[in-house]
Amino acid sequence: MNKVFACLISLSFLSPIAFADDRVIMVAATAEKSLDPNMIRMQIEIWAKAPTAKQAQQLAATQFKEVKKVFQEFKLKNQDIQTENYNLNPDYVYDNRAQQNKLVGFRAVQALSVTLRKVEDAGKFIDAIVSEKQGNNWGVNVNSINWDSDKRSQVETEALGDAVRETRVKANEIAKAAGVKIKNVARISHGAPAQRPPMPFLRGVSKMAMAESVSTEMASGQIKIQVEVSAEYEIN
């Protein structure tokens, strides 16, 4: 019991000494940069439905060949096209009279991730993908479009430098007001907040609009790169 009591006394005397050495100024800064997108990542879905699973699979395969022709026309590279998912499942509808699901056929769906590296071709590319020939049993959906840039990492690094310099400016101002001086950097950490890429403006993707010869229009906007830096500066 006496040993435990003596240990507690020792810790109570050591704690103030540890905190006394922890003389720092803690600051945080945010930096933001903008850049023009030079690529678009799209999620494309090729689907088909038929009375049998084999017919649905063959219809989807035929549609994929048509889509592949568009890829070749726009000179997409193989590494920019990836099948992310493929499903071949029974297709049901609910029968209100029987109060149960009724099998009406099968549905095949192939989900593709596609990167288009000529942003100026985006509208024409979508017009070519969404063919006016598609009907009630097969077609192509464009599910999402994300603007991006292969210079993102470079711009993020530049923003980090700006944020670190800003923490130094803030720490110097605080130190000056407090009558102390900065000796060294004790700790720096950074993080990137969730980014919201610019949303595209779409027009004319539907079959009705295509029938009226209205082409798809898209506005790319700019990509916002934002970083946050936290820093602790030692003071005398």
Asked if 105 and 52 touch (Cβ cutoff 8 Å), the reply is yes
Please identify which residue in the block is written with the tokens 């994929």: 64
d(CA 175, CA 44): 55
What are residue 31's DSSP bridge partners?
227
Please identify which residue in the block is written with the tokens 């060294």: 184
- How many other C-beta atoms lie within 10 A of the C-beta of residue 223? 22
pLDDT, tens digit, for every residue of 160-172? 999 999 999 999 9
pLDDT at 134: 67
CA-CA distances (angstroms) from residue 60 to 25, 38, 90, 107, 178?
63, 31, 15, 9, 71
Instruction: Profile the chain (236 residues) by mean pLDDT over runs of 10 residues.
Output: 41 38 89 94 95 96 94 96 96 87 94 95 92 78 93 94 96 95 93 56 41 73 94 94
CATH assignment of 23-37+150-200+221-236? 3.30.110.170
pLDDT at 21: 54
Give the global pTM: 0.69
Reduce the DSSP state of residue 182 to 3 states and report it: strand
Q: In CATH terms, are 23-37+150-200+221-236 and 39-148 the same topology?
A: no
Write down the domain spans for the chain. Answer: 23-37+150-200+221-236, 39-148
HEC string of 86-122 equals EEEEEEEEEECCCCEEEEEEEEEEEEEEEEECCHHHH
Residues shown for the chain: 236
CATH assignment of 39-148? 3.30.70.2970
Angle at 140 between CA 137 and CA 141, to 5 degrees: 115
d(CA 48, CA 67): 13
